[in-house]
């Protein structure tokens, strides 16, 4: 049985290459990625092919903007993919990229101060190299730190988000297989219970089937974080469901777990048509894609924490709204 330690080592080496000397970044990435390396990222980056393209398009401009960048990792785990019959192994890393915001990035003006870019990435490892990456980050949160809030007031609260309350999210060592199985089984149940919005139960009862009463839902900028089942239902889940119709079935590319941690991503996870106001903006009636990463911490037989990364820039681009262009016009500046 695979204990995922070699795959973790490959990703740690890949991270060390990214976090090292920027001048040799392309060559370093090439050493740690496959010849057909594929990278998926938050809008406006989309899909990139090959280490050179990833280094020149994403990493070099970001590291030029966030000087002396540090990777401040909160969660690290690996697992076999339950979407493809456990054929692939993915390694997950989540936290913040922190640096001195000293140069513009994507039209976001620098502050000369510390800034944090929330990130989460899934890396598929094959033959000792990273063959595929899905990396989502919270660009709107960086905009807010720079005083360029692109959205009207959100329904919940957004701060620099901490890691797990238990401070045990960095699973560098091998974990008991039964713990990971319990986590993935619970995630499967949660998706079946509430992931399709059709359980027939009152919303709070639906959520209670798989969530702890003191759950924390760490949502992205523009939506915010919320605490306890009652407030999660009131501040996010109910308003979100009321805003959309014609939700598609959930679709994931990878779904993995190890120890008490698990998660998934899709490209997209689902699509839905906004028929009510969403995020303070009017409905368009046009179906939009939701590219999402979800990371979970299990506590006993319930999910206790959930970190969510939604490519809201892509969703709003589907609606005909270019958020990156809006910040140039100082729309909704705070």
pLDDT at 334: 41
- Burial label, 18 (beta-carbon count in 10 A; 0-12, 13-18, 19+): buried
pLDDT at 198: 67
pLDDT tens for each residue of the chain, 334 residues long: 789 999 999 999 999 999 987 788 999 999 999 999 999 999 999 999 999 999 999 999 999 999 999 999 999 999 999 999 999 999 999 999 999 999 999 999 999 999 999 999 999 999 999 999 999 999 999 999 999 988 877 777 777 799 999 999 999 999 999 999 999 999 999 998 765 566 778 999 999 999 999 999 999 998 999 999 999 999 999 998 999 999 898 899 999 999 999 999 999 999 999 998 788 778 888 999 999 999 999 999 999 999 999 999 999 999 998 999 887 765 444 4
pLDDT at 195: 56
pLDDT at 282: 80
- Burial label, 119 (beta-carbon count in 10 A; 0-12, 13-18, 19+): buried
Are the beta carbons of 122 and 134 closer than 8 angstroms? yes
The domain at 177-328 falls in which architecture? Answer: Roll (3.10)
What DSSP string describes 31-62?
HHEEEEEEEEETTTTEEEESHHHHIIIIIHHH
DSSP E strands in the chain: the ranges are 33-41, 46-49, 66-80, 89-101, 114-126, 129-137, 211-218, 226-227, 244-245, 254-258, 261-265, 270-274, 288-290, 292-299, 302-310
Are the beta carbons of 264 and 293 closer than 8 angstroms? yes
Q: Which CATH class is domain 5-145?
A: alpha beta
pLDDT at 150: 83
Residues carrying CATH 3.10.450.50, the chain: 5-145, 177-328
């Amino acid at each position: 049985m695979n204990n995922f330690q070699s795959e973790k080592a490959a990703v740690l080496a890949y991270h060390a290459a990214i976090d090292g000397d920027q001048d040799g970044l392309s060559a370093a990435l090439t050493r740690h990625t496959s010849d057909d390396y594929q990278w998926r990222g938050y809008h406006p980056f989309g899909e990139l092919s090959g280490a050179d393209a990833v280094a020149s398009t994403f990493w070099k401009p970001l590291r030029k903007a966030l000087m002396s960048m540090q990777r401040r990792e909160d969660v690290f785990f690996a697992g076999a993919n339950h979407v493809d019959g456990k054929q692939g192994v993915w390694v997950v890393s989540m936290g913040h990229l922190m640096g001195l915001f000293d140069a513009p990035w994507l039209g976001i003006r620098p502050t000369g101060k510390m800034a944090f870019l929330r990130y989460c990435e899934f890396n598929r490892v094959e033959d000792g190299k990273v063959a595929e990456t899905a990396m989502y980050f919270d660009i709107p949160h960086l905009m807010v730190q720079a005083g360029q809030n692109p959205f009207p007031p959100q329904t919940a609260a957004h701060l620099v988000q901490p890691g797990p309350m238990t401070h045990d999210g960095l699973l560098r060592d091998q974990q008991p297989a039964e713990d990971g199985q319990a986590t993935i089984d619970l995630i499967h149940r949660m998706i079946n219970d509430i992931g399709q919005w059709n359980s027939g139960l009152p919303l709070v009862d639906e959520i209670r089937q798989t969530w702890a009463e003191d759950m924390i839902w760490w949502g992205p900028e523009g939506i915010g974080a919320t605490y306890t089942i009652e407030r999660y239902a009131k501040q996010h889940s109910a308003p979100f469901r009321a805003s959309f119709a014609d939700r598609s079935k959930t679709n994931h590319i990878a779904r993995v777990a190890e120890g008490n941690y698990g998660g998934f991503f899709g490209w997209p996870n689902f699509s839905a048509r906004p028929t009510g106001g969403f995020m303070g903006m009017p409905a368009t009636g046009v179906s939009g894609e939701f590219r999402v990463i979800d990371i979970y911490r299990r506590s006993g037989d319930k999910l206790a924490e959930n970190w969510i990364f939604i490519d809201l820039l892509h969703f709003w681009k589907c609606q005909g709204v270019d958020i990156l262009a809006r910040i140039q016009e100082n729309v909704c500046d705070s």
